[in-house]
Chains A and B, each alone.
Chain A
Amino acid sequence: MDELIRRARRGDQEAFVTLMERNKQSLWRVAMAVLHDPDDAADAMQDTVLEAWKNLPKLVKTEYFTTWLTRILLYNSYDILRKRRREAPAQTLREEGAEQRPDDTLDVQRTMAQLAENDRLILTLFYMNDLPVRAIARVLAISEGAVRVRLTRARERFKRAYENGDDRKERRA
């Protein structure tokens, strides 16, 4: 990937497109974790790719490419979230954000919807994008200790919400 980054930095569009295609699924996961809406997530990714193309020559340390790209995406995602919340009450947004997957029960959907965006985000960065703690610390600009504590707590909150959903299913059964 280093070679692709170096070529893209010098204006090689084919290398840049290859780079973005390799990272698009990771970006998609992060955008959805924050925004929980496919249209907004697609917009955030679009803005991110454009910004990455413009600013890639300024990236000095290619080994930080992933965290750099993820941070751009987070800025764009937060901006969309901020604009979206100016137009709709928070409670409505949470319900709208829940994905309607046909094989999920309503309780599981509620579990994800109950999680705050920052919980979904850090769990996604670690469990789905496989970023090490040090990289997550750089992306979120917090200490590694804080990353570990947030991961533990987010996982616990998720587990609690999931188990509450399980209990409700068992009681109904």
Chain B
Amino acid sequence: MSHFNDDILRSQLDPGPLPEQAQQKLNRIYGMLDAVPQAKPVRPVRLRWRRAAALAVAAVLALVGGTVALAATGGLMPMVQGIISFFNGSQTTNLDSLQPVFEAHNAAVEQSVTDQDITFTVENVSVDAGFVNIFGRITTGESIGALARRQNQISAVDAEGNIGEPQPYYTYGLPSWNLVRAVGAMPVVRVNGQIYGFDNTLSDSMNAYLEDDHTLVFARRILVPDGLPDTFTMEILPHYYTDENGEHQSLMNHEGDWTISVEVDATAAREAVKTLAAGEIPLGDAGRLDLKHFRWSPLGTLVSADEHVEAVPGTGTADGAFPDYAQAAGYLGLDRVAIRDDQGNWLYPMIPAGYDSGADHVAEYTSPAQGTRSITFVPASLSGGGEEKTVLAQPGQKIELGKDYGYVIERIETAAQTLTITLTPYGPRTAGSVGLEVFPCGAGGQSLDGNDRMAYEAVTDHITGAVTLEYYFDMEGEPQGLEQLRYFTWGDLTLDEANAVTLLLE
């Protein structure tokens, strides 16, 4: 009989109090603070709120609707064919699979705002009912590379308390996420007073590279579960947060206002948008999926569900903070449902998969095949998992995440300091998994650089669901000695086809 409970878990995790030796090390640092200069503080600048008359009008027009009224303000931008310069760079980005789609359906905005000597430019937007994609650049007189490299540095302290010279944390260049962090850019949009993109900050959703040391080129993908009208005014902000003083934007640690307003006409894509009716889908004894949105549009497929994850009364601290969360009885989440089109193709969630917006789980999936007229939801249960396995690192070998599903190794490539593995999915999939944990290893099972902590990025092909894992090594030359891939299983996925539900697209 199991005696396991949270108290046992806590007792095992508890390393005990800070030992005297560790306290002495801290005391040594406290004693030398005089000799260590602090960085310059960030000085907030009073925002200059600029509200053009057109925006006030647009707020009313958004309620009234109609192209005639919007045309009166000028600048309505339809989505048309056009080159997007973001894809001209030599970098591989995780939106490359969608380049043909974007370039068939975008507007050349070419607007810039300069504040605090930083220029925010929106070059193109590609918008439909479910997605907003923004392509642009941020230009500054400061060195973005230097800022990113400074953030990549740590100074070690030796046993005698001497502070070492700053050393880079890694040496394999400046990945997208490092640049994004350095600049602090994470564009959001405001439509009808609602901010979109604030929660959706996964690494997949923001791509960036340096055109030169002072110019960051970016592409931002925002999921809009509520859907967007055919025509609307959209404010684009390069960054956004709120506190007790209101709304703020910040780039390169400087507060400012870089709002760009665009009037969008996404009517051209309207005919191609297919949806499912929202509502609770009964899936047998497993429970109900409370589907909020299923929207298949030219720019992608978005699914959102209210998973009814609620705070458990009586848990948490005495004042009610940090309660436990549990799913309400009778409801399923997207992690318990596999989705299929009527041609037998499983829809694959992007990895990393979706985000939580309050109680709703929003996830992007690969799209149904052309001509699909219905979508089937199959309740799925996961059992087991967490088992460590290895597979030969050769094309054609399978990473078996569970019975009858996983990935086939399609390609393995090496270059200076990087290893790239491309995987093709097979079998069903549910959303909400943490993503692949795959470690390139030598013959003996040890990681290639002796460290399971090597940095890597997972990119999902938005069209096929193929996953590309790009690993970065802190060593000279190409990584050597790859023999196996070590991974953790997700568990066996059992599909309850008897209780699957098929819905017609509208």
Interface residues of A (CB under 8 A from B): 9-11, 13, 16-17, 20, 24-25, 28-29, 32-33, 38-39, 41-43, 45-47, 49-51, 53-58, 60-61, 63, 75-76, 78-79, 81-82, 85-86, 89-90, 99, 108, 111-112, 116-117, 120, 123-124, 127-128, 130-133, 141-146, 148-150, 153, 155-160, 162-163, 166
- Please give, as numbers and ranges, the residues of chain A lying within 8 Å of B40 by CB-CB distance: 57-58
Q: A149-B432, A158-B9, A159-B4 are in contact. Are A28 and B15 (CB under 8 A)?
A: yes
Least CB separation from B4: chain A residue? A159
Docked complex Cα distance between A173 and B426 (Å): 46
B36 touches A53 (CB 8 A): yes
Least CB separation from A135: chain B residue? B322
Docked complex Cα distance between A75 and B37 (Å): 21
- Please give, as numbers and ranges, the residues of chain B lying within 8 Å of A149 by CB-CB distance: 335, 432-434
Interface residues of B (CB under 8 A from A): 2-4, 6, 8-10, 12-15, 17-19, 21-23, 25-26, 28-30, 33-34, 36-42, 44, 154-157, 163, 169, 177, 202-203, 241, 243, 250, 253, 309, 317, 321-322, 325, 335, 352-356, 361, 385-386, 432-435, 446-447, 449-453, 474
- Please give, as numbers and ranges, the residues of chain A lying within 8 Å of B356 by CB-CB distance: 143-145
A58 touches B42 (CB 8 A): yes
- Among A63, A79, A146, A166, contact of B352 (Cβ-Cβ < 8 Å): A146
- Taking the closest CB of chain B, its distance from the CB of A91, in whole angstroms, is 9
- Among A82, A128, A142, A157, contact of B10 (Cβ-Cβ < 8 Å): A128
Q: A78-B453, A166-B3 are in contact. List 10 more A-B contacts (CB 8 A).
A: A28-B15, A49-B26, A50-B36, A56-B38, A58-B39, A76-B154, A85-B450, A112-B12, A148-B309, A157-B386
Docked complex Cα distance between A17 and B29 (Å): 10
- Please give, as numbers and ranges, the residues of chain A lying within 8 Å of B41 by CB-CB distance: 9-10, 57-58
Docked complex Cα distance between A99 and B16 (Å): 11
B361 touches A24 (CB 8 A): no
- Among B29, B163, B451, contact of A82 (Cβ-Cβ < 8 Å): B451
A143 touches B202 (CB 8 A): yes
- Among A45, A78, A111, contact of B25 (Cβ-Cβ < 8 Å): A45
Q: A127-B9, A156-B386, A163-B4 are in contact. Are A53 and B33 (CB under 8 A)?
A: yes
Docked complex Cα distance between A159 and B6 (Å): 10
Least CB separation from A141: chain B residue? B203
Least CB separation from B153: chain A residue? A51
- Among B22, B352, B386, contact of A45 (Cβ-Cβ < 8 Å): B22
- Among A111, A117, A127, A144, contact of B6 (Cβ-Cβ < 8 Å): A127
A150 touches B434 (CB 8 A): yes
- Please give, as numbers and ranges, the residues of chain A lying within 8 Å of B449 by CB-CB distance: 82, 86
Docked complex Cα distance between A82 and B386 (Å): 23
- Taking the closest CB of chain A, its distance from the CB of B471, in whole angstroms, is 14
Docked complex Cα distance between A156 and B2 (Å): 13
Q: A24-B26, A145-B432 are in contact. Are A155 and B354 (CB under 8 A)?
A: no
Q: A38-B21, A90-B446, A155-B9 are in contact. Are A163 and B155 (CB under 8 A)?
A: no
Least CB separation from A131: chain B residue? B322
Q: A42-B22, A45-B22, A82-B451 are in contact. Are A16 and B33 (CB under 8 A)?
A: yes
Least CB separation from B434: chain A residue? A146
- 3 smallest CB-CB distances across A and B, nearest first, come from A42-B22, A57-B41, A32-B15
A81 touches B434 (CB 8 A): no
- Please give, as numbers and ranges, the residues of chain A lying within 8 Å of B203 by CB-CB distance: 141
- Taking the closest CB of chain A, its distance from the CB of B147, in whole angstroms, is 11
B36 touches A153 (CB 8 A): no
A38 touches B13 (CB 8 A): no
- Please give, as numbers and ranges, the residues of chain B lying within 8 Å of A38 by CB-CB distance: 19, 21-22
Q: A42-B22, A61-B241 are in contact. Are A75 and B169 (CB under 8 A)?
A: yes
- Please give, as numbers and ranges, the residues of chain B lying within 8 Å of A57 by CB-CB distance: 38-42
- Please give, as numbers and ranges, the residues of chain B lying within 8 Å of A60 by CB-CB distance: 42, 44, 250, 253
- Please give, as numbers and ranges, the residues of chain A lying within 8 Å of B19 by CB-CB distance: 38, 42
Docked complex Cα distance between A51 and B250 (Å): 23
- Among B4, B241, B355, B453, contact of A144 (Cβ-Cβ < 8 Å): B355
- Please give, as numbers and ranges, the residues of chain B lying within 8 Å of A24 by CB-CB distance: 18, 23, 26
Docked complex Cα distance between A162 and B154 (Å): 37
- Taking the closest CB of chain A, its distance from the CB of B481, in whole angstroms, is 15
B39 touches A55 (CB 8 A): yes
- Among A29, A51, A78, A85, contact of B13 (Cβ-Cβ < 8 Å): A29
- Please give, as numbers and ranges, the residues of chain B lying within 8 Å of A116 by CB-CB distance: 452
- Please give, as numbers and ranges, the residues of chain B lying within 8 Å of A39 by CB-CB distance: 21
B157 touches A50 (CB 8 A): yes
Least CB separation from A78: chain B residue? B453
A29 touches B14 (CB 8 A): yes
- Could you list 8 A-B pairs, sorted by A, with CB under 8 Å? A9-B38, A50-B155, A60-B44, A79-B169, A89-B446, A145-B354, A149-B433, A158-B12
Least CB separation from B40: chain A residue? A57
- Please give, as numbers and ranges, the residues of chain B lying within 8 Å of A153 by CB-CB distance: 385-386, 434
A54 touches B28 (CB 8 A): no
- Please give, as numbers and ranges, the residues of chain B lying within 8 Å of A81 by CB-CB distance: 451, 453
- Among A11, A28, A49, contact of B29 (Cβ-Cβ < 8 Å): A49
B354 touches A143 (CB 8 A): yes
- Please give, as numbers and ranges, the residues of chain B lying within 8 Å of A108 by CB-CB distance: 12
A145 touches B163 (CB 8 A): no
A54 touches B39 (CB 8 A): yes
- Taking the closest CB of chain B, its distance from the CB of A107, in whole angstroms, is 11
Docked complex Cα distance between A33 and B9 (Å): 13
A25 touches B18 (CB 8 A): yes
- Please give, as numbers and ranges, the residues of chain A lying within 8 Å of B155 by CB-CB distance: 47, 50-51
Least CB separation from A134: chain B residue? B356
- Taking the closest CB of chain A, its distance from the CB of B484, in whole angstroms, is 14
Docked complex Cα distance between A13 and B33 (Å): 7
Docked complex Cα distance between A123 and B6 (Å): 11
Least CB separation from A81: chain B residue? B453
Least CB separation from A101: chain B residue? B16
Docked complex Cα distance between A57 and B42 (Å): 7
- Please give, as numbers and ranges, the residues of chain B lying within 8 Å of A143 by CB-CB distance: 202, 352-356
